[in-house]
Amino acid sequence: MPVPAFRKLFVLPVALFVGVISVATVARAQAPIQITADLSEAARKLYHAEIDIPVKPGPVTLITPEWIPGTHRPTPIVDSITGVVFTANGQVLSWRRDNVDMYEFHLTIPEGVATLHAHLDLINPGRQTTRLAAFEWEGLLLYPAGIPTAKIAIQPAVIVPKGWGVGTALTPGLTGSFASTDVHHFAPTTVEQLEDSPVITGLYYHQFALAPEISPKHFLDVVSDEPEDSKMRPSTIAEINNLVREANALYKSHHYNEYHLLLTLTDATGGQGLEHGQSSDNGVGEKDFSDDAHQLGVADLLSHEFTHSWNGKYRRPARLYQPDFATPQQGDLLWVYEGMTQYLGNVLAARSGLKNQQQYREMLALSAAQLDYKSGREWRSTEDTAIASSILRGGSASWSNWKRGQDYYQEGELLWLDADTLIRKLTDNKKSLNDFDAIFLGKGGNTGPLIVPYERPELIADLNQVVPYDWAKFLHDRIDLINPRADLAGIEQGGYKLVYEDTPSDAEKTLNKAGGRRANAIDVWYSIGLRVDKEGAVSDVRFHGPADKAKLSPGVKIYAVDGRVFSGDSLKAAIEAAKGSTEPIHLILEQDGFVTMADIDYHDGERYPTLVRVEGTPDYLDDITKPLTTPPATK
Ligand SMILES: [Zn+2]
């Protein structure tokens, strides 16, 4: 598509805070679109919308969002929009989809018509069960093309099953009740802000006011399939309170009028973590916060998505921000947007107690080892994983290690740890990345929801403000260049070393015990170089690793190991038996209906990553994960 003429107006110079449009001003400027989303048929995997759009006679093009912020790619939700009917003054109007842009609807508005009515259905919208529903507005939004979404006023309402609680950052208005449903009206906003304001609703709904001494207000809104889950454990609620206090102490500013951590607990649908300026849409399994073991697997979810309110929503990479949801977004700075958030999300989770310091270090080891053994780093830079973000999400596990995935998350975590420990080293621990974050994420002081774009030179200038250094080269070397090894400097400057031991770390054992995908895997990645499940199915082979040299392929199934029927135990026993020996590990395999044999020439035993302390060096890693605040004595 051609670049819309208004685009240049909205890519603001980095330091320029003028021209930012407040929601209230826009909402008064024109009659708002009225949209009512009906979530009352969530259990049947159907949502509906009734939309009234102010129009003038003549041709009109309406669009529905394509590039959804936070997903960093075009989202094919348009194929789930069904039952589209336009009416005006009681007459059905014909419409035609654009031949090229599947997100555009063309109509001609007759004379005498000032309001166009649209009905839409959304099928299989995502996370909904008989007890709860989550709703991201892009699935049912419709608005005129060619106008910045920050300039289109809209007034929302949602219909939910009677008695269900509603959690959202939208400003509440009137509510009404019908025989089997309730309707919740909200204050006018803009299309940009509405897209940024999801709604969760459920029969078992609890709202927790968080850290009441801090302004503005923060809430945790929880819905669950089972009544006991949304009550949450008192220890977890205390930790989430700590999270608000720690974020407040770290960022020293906020960019929301109030903030809602929205959380759905269900096993019936997949997980979710989508950031928004004044809320975050978090979805996990129904028992994921019910004990410490399960909680470890999701410990950084809330802190990651909350951090995005500052890093990603308020401060947005310039070309990742587009004034509509139609112009392609450019992801080259996602190692800041996601990478620094990955770092800060984990740090805040540790500072808040959602995981402990040892768990932080052991999880960091798992992540660093994975990157250090990622063969695709031989041909692809971290920046390329960010630029190519829109084509790297999901996909097959086959050779994914050679391909690389959205590595800018974890590469960014190591990069910002490197920067944090380097600042501490250069300043004798008097300054840290905390100082950079307060500058970079807090410019302009406290604000309501706002998007302020940036480019790389601003990061460099702000880092230099904390401590002078060749930060341009620092970032260039780590992001733009091909680096065959992961950036382990932050771990080492932090007083630790990445090592491989013959038993898994406590954190890895805990994650395996908690179940899920990991529990079905046998960790032999750092030894023979295979991703294999308990049935012997191989999903990936580490390029250049021992199993690769033995010509194993993703998709093969291991039947037998050293003459014994395959099991996790028999495979590990064979790896141990081959340690220090010259005899290879003998495998019998099935591939595409044929039986083959392979010998893996590997003799170094089992290997599991962890961090060990280097005595006599500064322990910055543990300084970084110490709380900045003291929880109230009542904890
Ligand atoms: Zn993120």
- Say how many Å lie between the CA of residue 566 and the centre of ligand 1: 38
- Say how many Å lie between the CA of residue 301 and the centre of ligand 1: 9
- Say how many Å lie between the CA of residue 386 and the centre of ligand 1: 13
Enter the tokens of residue 254. 């906020």
Enter the tokens of residue 37. 């989303």
- Say how many Å lie between the CA of residue 308 and the centre of ligand 1: 7
- Say how many Å lie between the CA of residue 346 and the centre of ligand 1: 12
pLDDT one-digit tens code per residue, 230-278: 999 999 999 999 999 999 999 999 999 999 999 999 999 989 999 999 9
Distances (CA, A) of 353 to 130, 132, 299, 357: 33, 29, 9, 8
- Say how many Å lie between the CA of residue 196 and the centre of ligand 1: 14
- Say how many Å lie between the CA of residue 274 and the centre of ligand 1: 7
pLDDT at 517: 66
pLDDT one-digit tens code per residue, 296-323: 999 999 999 999 999 999 999 999 999 9
- Say how many Å lie between the CA of residue 423 and the centre of ligand 1: 24
- Say how many Å lie between the CA of residue 316 and the centre of ligand 1: 12
- Say how many Å lie between the CA of residue 342 and the centre of ligand 1: 7
- Say how many Å lie between the CA of residue 106 and the centre of ligand 1: 35
- Say how many Å lie between the CA of residue 273 and the centre of ligand 1: 7
Left, alpha or beta for 353 (phi > 0: left; psi -120 to 50: alpha)?
left
Nearest residue to 560 via CA among 571, 550, 576, 569: 571
pLDDT at 3: 30
Mean pLDDT over the full length of the chain:
93
- Say how many Å lie between the CA of residue 303 and the centre of ligand 1: 10
Mean pLDDT of 61-74: 95
Mean pLDDT of 584-602: 97
- Say how many Å lie between the CA of residue 532 and the centre of ligand 1: 28
pLDDT at 632: 72
pLDDT at 634: 54
- Say how many Å lie between the CA of residue 338 and the centre of ligand 1: 5
- Say how many Å lie between the CA of residue 278 and the centre of ligand 1: 15
DSSP H/E element including 364: helix 357-372
- Say how many Å lie between the CA of residue 390 and the centre of ligand 1: 14
Enter the tokens of residue 600. 């893996």
- Say how many Å lie between the CA of residue 275 and the centre of ligand 1: 7
pLDDT one-digit tens code per residue, 342-391: 999 999 999 999 999 999 999 999 999 999 999 999 999 999 999 999 99
pLDDT one-digit tens code per residue, 167-179: 999 999 999 999 9
Mean pLDDT of 134-146: 96
pLDDT one-digit tens code per residue, 570-580: 999 999 999 99
Amino acid of residue 84:
V
pLDDT one-digit tens code per residue, 512-534: 888 776 778 999 999 999 999 99
- Say how many Å lie between the CA of residue 345 and the centre of ligand 1: 9
- Say how many Å lie between the CA of residue 517 and the centre of ligand 1: 21
DSSP E strands in 436-593: the ranges are 452-454, 496-501, 521-524, 530-533, 538-541, 557-561, 564-565, 585-591
- Say how many Å lie between the CA of residue 213 and the centre of ligand 1: 27
Place 1 in a pLDDT band, splitting at 50, 70 and 90: very low
481 phi and psi, to 5 degrees?
Answer: -90, 160
Mean pLDDT of 452-472: 98
Place 25 in a pLDDT band, splitting at 50, 70 and 90: very low
- Say how many Å lie between the CA of residue 618 and the centre of ligand 1: 30
Residue 615 makes CB contacts below 8 A (sequence gap 6+) with none
